Amino acid sequence: MSEQTDYAATFSLVDSDGDGLISADEFLSLMSNLGEESTPEQAVAAVREMDSDGDDRVSLTEFTAYMARNHA
């Protein structure tokens, strides 16, 4: 399995409504599923960090680029 495919699998887990974009709400439910205490503000900040086109949603392209940057 390539890393690219790996990221896509992770992405679809986080994207619970399947619209191809990760919202702050979806990120927040991921964190609570992982048992991490996270505030809505932290979720918004995390999404903003990954969001490169400024639509407040994380696309698979943005997610992959972020993961590649941070795991290089």
- Per CB under 5 A, residues contacting Ca ion are 15, 17, 19, 21, 51, 53, 55
14 versus 42: smaller Cβ distance to Ca ion: 14
Minimum CB–partner distance for residue 20 and Ca ion (Å): 7
Minimum CB–partner distance for residue 1 and Ca ion (Å): 23
Number of neighbouring beta carbons within 10 Å of residue 47: 21
1 versus 54: smaller Cβ distance to Ca ion: 54
